Amino acid sequence: MGDEDNVIAVVQVEEDIQRHLADSIRGIPVTASDIHDATKRDPVLQKYHRTADGLSHQTGDEDNVIAVVQVEEDVQRQLADTFKGISVTASGIHDATKRDPILQKVMKFINTSWPQKSTAGDLTHFFRRRQSLSIIDGCVMCSDRVVVPASLRRAVLRKFHCGHPGISRMKALARGYAYRPAMDIDIDQTVNQCSRFQEAAKLPARKPPSPWPKPETPWSRLHIDFAGPMNGISYLIIVDAYSKWPEVIPLRTAISPHSSELSLNTVFL
């Protein structure tokens, strides 16, 4: 019987013992010594006890198997979380990776060994990050990010550009899920070619409101405007910026340059 079978047997034994004990002691108070004595007298528990005891004296290989299973589950969760952020599936990445000649070379180096010196061409980027590269379910990973094959790069870029984020935001999204050489350059080009981004870029930069400078003398700067009509009457409002003194002049006729001039004459003449 292999080590994996031993581990499964131990787990099954533990479950059977738990169920058997639960049925035996349900509803009655027992102590640890009571259970120990009952185990000696119970033929079913004795059989499982001998099996588990024998397995417990074997080497630590079963612990290694359990550790491998746990690591595999963690890796699968990591891969699933990564694919939630991009527009392709794990099988799509896997199939595209099989057809990508560069990534096939990368996988070969990962499974064997990398050259001592940097390789030329497209492999240079991967050589620099060789310590972070791994393979999960036929997909090349760079740390916790999936390496996108060349045939799927445009589709992944469109996913990250959905919603038309700016360059910085799009780069942050991409770096959280995917890796590929020159990704930042492609993001710059994608955003700069976006019509919505270009329209937003043409807008002048917003500036904070700038207050009027304080006048040094009375009536050196005036603010003039119309108000109304109220109850059929319009008003010419003159405010001295220095003293904040208002002059309110009712206009008996319709607002016009001539009526405004006559009203101003009543103030200044």
CATH number for the domain harbouring residue 184: 1.10.340.70
Q: Is residue 70 part of a domain?
A: no
Query: What digits encode the pLDDT tens for the residues 222-246?
Result: 888 888 788 878 888 889 889 998 8
Q: Is residue 261 part of a domain?
A: yes
The CA distance from 25 to 269, in Å, is 111
Tens digit of each residue's pLDDT, the chain (269 residues): 555 554 444 445 455 555 544 554 444 455 545 555 655 555 555 555 554 444 444 445 554 444 444 444 554 554 455 445 455 677 788 888 888 898 899 899 999 988 888 777 778 888 888 888 888 888 888 887 788 888 877 776 666 555 555 555 555 555 666 777 666 566 666 655 555 555 555 556 677 888 888 888 988 898 888 887 888 788 888 898 899 988 888 877 766 776 677 777 777 76
Shared domain for 198 and 243, answered yes or no, is: no
Shared domain for 116 and 227, answered yes or no, is: no
Shared domain for 14 and 95, answered yes or no, is: no
Q: Is residue 107 part of a domain?
A: yes
Shared domain for 31 and 102, answered yes or no, is: no
Measured over the CA atoms of residue 22, residue 25, residue 27 and residue 28, the dihedral's sign is: negative
The CA distance from 64 to 62, in Å, is 5
Residue ending a domain, among 202, 236, 255, is 202
Q: Is residue 212 part of a domain?
A: no
CA distance between the termini of the chain: 116
Query: What digits encode the pLDDT tens for the residues 176-199?
Result: 667 776 665 666 666 555 555 555
Shared domain for 88 and 53, answered yes or no, is: no
In the DSSP assignment, the letter for residue 143 is T
Q: Is residue 113 part of a domain?
A: yes
Our count of domains for the chain comes to 3
Task: Give the pLDDT confidence score for residue 64 in this predicted structure.
Answer: 45
Task: Give the pLDDT confidence score for residue 108 in this predicted structure.
Answer: 92
The CA distance from 174 to 161, in Å, is 9
Nearest 5°: the CA angle 75, 79, 85 is: 150
Query: What global pTM score does this model have?
Result: 0.40
Shared domain for 13 and 88, answered yes or no, is: no
Q: Is residue 72 part of a domain?
A: no
Q: Which residues contact 13 (CB under 8 A, 6 or more apart)?
A: 48, 51, 52
- What does the radius of gyration of the chain's CA atoms come to, in whole angstroms? 40
The CA distance from 87 to 178, in Å, is 11
Q: Is residue 214 part of a domain?
A: no
Shared domain for 167 and 197, answered yes or no, is: yes
Domain that holds residue 246: 222-268
Shared domain for 155 and 263, answered yes or no, is: no
Q: Are 249 and 236 in contact (CB under 8 A)?
A: yes
Shared domain for 132 and 196, answered yes or no, is: yes
Shared domain for 49 and 139, answered yes or no, is: no
Q: Say if strands 178-179 and 145-147 run parallel, antiparallel, or are unpaired.
A: parallel
In the DSSP assignment, the letter for residue 151 is G
Shared domain for 87 and 170, answered yes or no, is: yes
